[in-house]
Protein backbone atom coordinates (compact mmCIF):
# COMPACT_ATOMS: atom_id res chain seq x y z
CA UNK A 1 0.00 0.00 0.00
CA UNK A 2 1.40 3.41 -0.98
CA UNK A 3 1.62 6.02 1.75
CA UNK A 4 0.10 9.37 0.84
CA UNK A 5 2.14 12.31 2.06
CA UNK A 6 0.24 15.47 2.78
CA UNK A 7 1.70 18.93 3.00
CA UNK A 8 0.33 22.10 4.48
CA UNK A 9 0.87 25.34 2.60
CA UNK A 10 2.08 26.78 5.89
CA UNK A 11 5.00 24.33 5.72
CA UNK A 12 6.30 26.00 2.56
CA UNK A 13 8.31 29.19 3.05
CA UNK A 14 6.32 32.04 1.56
CA UNK A 15 8.13 34.87 -0.17
CA UNK A 16 6.76 38.34 0.11
CA UNK A 17 5.76 40.20 -3.03
CA UNK A 18 8.63 42.66 -2.61
CA UNK A 19 11.09 39.74 -2.67
CA UNK A 20 9.71 38.42 -5.95
CA UNK A 21 9.83 41.67 -7.92
CA UNK A 22 12.74 43.67 -9.24
CA UNK A 23 11.81 47.33 -9.63
CA UNK A 24 11.00 49.06 -11.88
CA UNK A 25 8.83 46.31 -13.42
CA UNK A 26 5.56 45.80 -15.29
CA UNK A 27 2.64 45.23 -12.92
CA UNK A 28 -1.05 44.64 -13.65
CA UNK A 29 -3.84 45.75 -11.35
CA UNK A 30 -7.27 44.17 -11.78
CA UNK A 31 -10.11 46.05 -10.12
CA UNK A 32 -13.32 44.04 -9.77
CA UNK A 33 -16.46 45.89 -8.86
CA UNK A 34 -20.12 46.54 -9.44
CA UNK A 35 -20.76 47.20 -13.12
CA UNK A 36 -21.53 50.90 -13.08
CA UNK A 37 -20.84 53.91 -15.27
CA UNK A 38 -17.54 55.54 -14.36
CA UNK A 39 -15.72 52.52 -12.89
CA UNK A 40 -13.02 52.61 -15.57
CA UNK A 41 -12.58 56.38 -15.25
CA UNK A 42 -12.44 56.23 -11.43
CA UNK A 43 -9.81 53.47 -11.65
CA UNK A 44 -7.68 55.55 -14.01
CA UNK A 45 -7.94 58.66 -11.81
CA UNK A 46 -6.52 56.74 -8.83
CA UNK A 47 -3.77 55.12 -10.90
CA UNK A 48 -2.80 58.47 -12.45
CA UNK A 49 -2.44 59.95 -8.96
CA UNK A 50 0.25 57.42 -7.99
CA UNK A 51 1.64 56.30 -11.36
CA UNK A 52 1.14 58.99 -14.00
CA UNK A 53 1.18 57.66 -17.55
CA UNK A 54 -0.71 56.73 -20.68
CA UNK A 55 -2.90 53.69 -20.00
CA UNK A 56 -5.16 51.45 -22.05
CA UNK A 57 -7.51 49.78 -19.55
CA UNK A 58 -9.10 46.47 -20.45
CA UNK A 59 -12.54 45.70 -19.11
CA UNK A 60 -14.58 42.53 -18.90
CA UNK A 61 -18.22 42.57 -17.89
CA UNK A 62 -19.59 39.45 -16.20
CA UNK A 63 -22.04 37.25 -18.11
CA UNK A 64 -25.01 38.56 -16.10
CA UNK A 65 -23.77 42.16 -16.32
CA UNK A 66 -23.49 42.52 -12.55
CA UNK A 67 -19.72 42.97 -12.27
CA UNK A 68 -16.98 44.60 -14.27
CA UNK A 69 -13.26 43.93 -14.04
CA UNK A 70 -10.84 46.62 -15.13
CA UNK A 71 -7.22 45.64 -15.79
CA UNK A 72 -4.49 48.26 -16.07
CA UNK A 73 -0.78 47.63 -16.72
CA UNK A 74 1.69 50.02 -15.14
CA UNK A 75 5.44 50.19 -14.66
CA UNK A 76 5.79 49.95 -10.88
CA UNK A 77 8.66 51.96 -9.45
CA UNK A 78 8.74 50.43 -5.95
CA UNK A 79 6.81 48.21 -3.55
CA UNK A 80 5.38 51.21 -1.68
CA UNK A 81 3.70 52.40 -4.88
CA UNK A 82 2.17 48.95 -5.45
CA UNK A 83 0.93 48.69 -1.86
CA UNK A 84 -0.52 52.22 -1.95
CA UNK A 85 -2.38 51.48 -5.18
CA UNK A 86 -3.90 48.30 -3.73
CA UNK A 87 -5.25 50.31 -0.79
CA UNK A 88 -6.46 53.30 -2.79
CA UNK A 89 -8.07 51.27 -5.60
CA UNK A 90 -10.02 49.27 -3.00
CA UNK A 91 -11.60 52.55 -1.80
CA UNK A 92 -13.33 53.21 -5.15
CA UNK A 93 -17.12 53.10 -4.92
CA UNK A 94 -18.49 49.63 -5.67
CA UNK A 95 -15.10 47.86 -5.78
CA UNK A 96 -15.26 44.34 -4.36
CA UNK A 97 -11.59 43.35 -4.74
CA UNK A 98 -8.28 44.41 -6.22
CA UNK A 99 -6.00 41.73 -7.65
> How confident is the model over 11-46, as pLDDT tens digits?
545 567 677 789 999 999 999 999 999 999 999 999
CB neighbours of residue 19 within 10 Å = 9
The tens digit of pLDDT for each residue in 47-70 reads 999 999 999 999 999 999 999 999
For residue 47, give the 3-state DSSP assignment.
helix
Q: Is residue 15 part of a domain?
A: no
Handedness of CA 28, 17, 46, 31 (dihedral sign): positive
Q: Is residue 48 part of a domain?
A: yes
Q: What is the pTM of this model?
A: 0.82
For the chain, the domain total comes to 1
Q: Is residue 72 part of a domain?
A: yes
Q: Is residue 2 part of a domain?
A: no
Amino acid sequence: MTEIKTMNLTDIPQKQLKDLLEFPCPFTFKVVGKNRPGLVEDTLVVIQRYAPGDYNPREHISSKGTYNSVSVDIIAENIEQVETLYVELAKIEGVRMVL
